[in-house]
Amino acid sequence: MTDTPKRPEYRRVADEIRERIRRGDYSPGGTLPKDADLATELETGRGTVEKAMGVLALEGLVTRTKQGTAVSRIPLKITRAVPERYEAAYRERGRGAFDVEVRDRGHEPRWETTVTETDSATLRARHMWADDVPVQIAVTEIPKAVAAASGVTGEDTGSGGMISRLADAGHKQDRITEAIDVRPPTAEEAAFLKLTEDHRVYELTHTAYSEDGTVTEVTTHVMPCHLWKLAYTWSPDAA
């Protein structure tokens, strides 16, 4: 019979500190006790606490600086729920699904939109924050005629966001595909999202089709894995 490998001590310490963060013992954005104090409290060595903090830093739960260790401003992940986020009643609680998702987690959403045009498409590039924490980059490509008819060529798309404006113009999304990859961030993404090369991001490509099969939008979302939870619900036997 093979003995079960003993769990490393630093993992036990990381588990304990993680649980304290998630239940609110340490305030979001607040400073954790010094490593030496935690080592004494948790009856372990300072080196073990340092190693545990390295694990939590990679998870995005803490930030290590020369001044000390700070708890993430967003210790609980933002949930991106499908199909809820594509239902009008959900989106129109705010200025689109992202707005609602962030507010539901208790943060203040903000985004900056840059609109550019190519010969065939309108491109909407958004940099997005929860409070003052950068949490997502999203780039949407919409066929030029669809964008013009839907009024989504400006920065503000109003209540319910871009998807509601597309539906208002007769381009309701009838079918959606989403492909998800996990990868390291690019240098540009890491700079905005404040990530290291050891962090990982979701690259989620969302493609929407109208009833006649026309592609109405393709959006690439880049989201730090430690800040987002992706939740999907569907009926397997649905026609």
Provide the 10 A C-beta neighbour count for residue 9. 16
The per-residue pLDDT for 2 is 61
How many angstroms separate the CA atoms of 174 and 231, rounded?
20
How many angstroms separate the CA atoms of 54 and 49, rounded?
9
The per-residue pLDDT for 169 is 77
Q: Are 46 and 39 in contact, with CB atoms under 8 Å apart?
A: yes
The per-residue pLDDT for 4 is 65
Q: Are 122 and 153 in contact, with CB atoms under 8 Å apart?
A: yes
The per-residue pLDDT for 161 is 81
pTM of the model: 0.85
Q: Phi/psi of residue 19, each to 5°?
A: -65, -40
Model pLDDT for residues 17-62, shown as the tens digit of each residue: 999 998 899 999 999 999 999 999 999 999 999 999 999 998 889 9
Residues 204-229 as b or e (16 or more Cβ within 10 Å = b): bebbbbbeeeeebbbbbbbbbbbbbe
Residues 6+ apart with CB under 8 A from 116: 122, 123, 125
Give me the chain's average pLDDT, please.
91
The per-residue pLDDT for 45 is 95
The per-residue pLDDT for 3 is 65
The per-residue pLDDT for 160 is 77
Q: Residue count of the chain, please give it.
A: 239
More reliable by pLDDT, 79 or 168: 79
Question: Residue 70's beta-bridge partner residues?
Answer: 31, 63
Q: Phi/psi of residue 146, each to 5°?
A: -65, -45
67: confidence class by pLDDT, cuts 50, 70, 90? confident
Determine which of 95-109, 145-159, 170-184 has the lowest per-residue pLDDT on average. 145-159
Q: What percent of the chain has pLDDT over 90?
A: 67
Residue 141 has pLDDT above 90, yes or no: yes
Residue 176 has pLDDT above 80, yes or no: yes
Helix locations, 69-221, DSSP H = 88-91, 97-104, 144-150, 161-168, 187-193
What is the average pLDDT across 151-159? 76
What is the average pLDDT across 116-125? 92
The per-residue pLDDT for 164 is 83
Gyration radius of the chain over CA positions: 21
Domains of the chain: 9-71 (1.10.10.10), 78-232 (3.40.1410.10)
The residue among 208, 115, 107, 127 whose CA lies nearest residue 157 is 115
